[in-house]
């Protein structure tokens, strides 16, 4: 089966099997639309832990499969993950907010994944043309009040990431077909491109900054904010020095209007003092007396001790 793919893709399959220590299988579909989109593959985890990567469109299997494999590997190479620990209490609203957060998060992952694919020789002129064809095929031109502005902005932002900000080949066409969305995408891309993204720490910083920039953009087009800095939990990345600091030096723990998704309990959010991003969620203690003592104990603890006692995922900055 592996002989069907480019040598670089075979190596990624082997790496995934080695890192995950379980079977990683590939299933190819029969459809080939002639262009590529990042939604043409998905991971399916089986009850026994094995994983199947379904490539639903075979227009460019090497590109699409390698993209999905690199997503899989990124999650196992100490890059912060997003978590949906909180709920607004409204299922449809939750799903919309989570979907937007996933798209923003994935845009940043594509900075790293795209660089890896280019290093592996898996992005050539044909791939670039197929990617652009996919955008033009699936992203309709703007119409007044058609309520697709967020969808377009996220797709065009991902396009700028794919082309590393080089927009000469499509700039005039995008300005004609997507004037408002392309302007928004360029504004958000500037946030991502401001600093290199080459480590778990810089990756997390870029996600936080993109979350922070997204709400002002939404407001600029008359839409409600997502408040992803509080709704979405993003794993922390700490230096050894930060791990030794007291919790009060690194975090503010705030009572949230949102509830814990798993059990409906009232939630407290650990917001980083430097970036105001949700890094962990804990349940509220039973009563006022217990609450005061509980939070005093937490604030006195080192970051490392607290994270380990609470079984909260975090990453050590190298």
Query: Cα–Cα distances in Å, from 49 out to 30, 65, 248, 309?
Result: 26, 19, 39, 27
pLDDT tens digits for range 47-79: 999 999 999 999 999 999 999 999 999 988 889
How far apart (Å, rounded) are the C-alpha atoms in residues 57 and 215? 34
215: left (phi over 0), alpha (psi -120 to 50) or beta: alpha
pTM of the entire structure? 0.95
Cα-Cα-Cα-Cα torsion 284, 289, 290, 295, nearest 10 degrees, comes to 70
Q: 50 in helix, strand or coil? A: coil
CB of 53 within 8 A of CB of 65? Answer: yes
pLDDT tens digits for range 234-268: 999 999 999 999 999 999 999 999 999 999 999 99
What's the confidence (pLDDT) of residue 144? 81
For residue 77, the 8-state DSSP code is T
The lowest-confidence range among 46-55, 86-95, 178-187, 281-290 is: 281-290
How far apart (Å, rounded) are the C-alpha atoms in residues 162 and 111? 7
Of the candidates 60, 81, 77, 72, which has an alpha carbon nearest to the alpha carbon of residue 4? 60
Q: Which residues of 42-60 are buried (b: 16+ CB within 10 A; e: fewer)?
A: eeeeeeeeebebebebebb
Residue extents of the structural domains in the chain = 1-77, 83-232, 235-316
37: left (phi over 0), alpha (psi -120 to 50) or beta: beta
């Amino acid at each position: 089966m592996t002989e069907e793919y480019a040598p670089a893709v075979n190596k990624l399959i082997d790496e995934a099997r080695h890192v995950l220590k379980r079977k990683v299988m590939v299933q190819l579909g029969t459809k080939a639309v002639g262009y590529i989109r990042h939604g043409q593959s998905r991971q399916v985890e089986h009850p026994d832990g094995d994983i199947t990567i379904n490539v639903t469109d075979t227009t460019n299997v090497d590109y699409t499969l390698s993209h999905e494999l690199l997503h899989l590997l990124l999650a196992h190479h100490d890059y912060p993950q997003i978590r949906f620990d909180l709920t607004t209490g409204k299922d449809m609203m939750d799903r919309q907010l989570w979907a937007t957060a996933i798209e923003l998060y994935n845009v940043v992952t594509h900075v790293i994944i795209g660089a890896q694919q280019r290093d592996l020789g898996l992005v050539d002129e044909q791939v670039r043309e197929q990617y652009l064809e996919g955008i033009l095929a699936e992203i309709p031109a703007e119409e007044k009040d058609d309520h697709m502005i967020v969808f377009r902005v996220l797709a065009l932002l991902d396009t700028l990431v794919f082309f590393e900000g080089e927009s000469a080949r499509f700039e005039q066409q995008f300005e004609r077909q997507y004037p408002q969305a392309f302007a928004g995408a360029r504004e958000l891309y500037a946030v991502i491109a401001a600093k290199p993204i080459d480590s778990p720490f810089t990756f997390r910083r870029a996600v936080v900054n993109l979350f922070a920039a997204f709400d002002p953009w939404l407001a600029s087009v008359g839409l409600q904010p997502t408040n992803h800095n509080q709704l979405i939990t993003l794993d922390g990345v700490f230096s050894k020095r930060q791990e030794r600091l007291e919790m009060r030096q690194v975090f503010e723990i705030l009572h949230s209007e949102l509830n814990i998704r798993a059990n409906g309990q009232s939630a407290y959010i650990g917001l980083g003092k430097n970036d105001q991003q949700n890094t962990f969620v804990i349940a509220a203690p039973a009563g006022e007396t217990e609450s005061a003592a509980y939070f005093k104990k937490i604030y006195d603890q080192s970051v490392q001790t607290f994270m380990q006692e609470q079984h909260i995922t975090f990453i050590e900055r190298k």
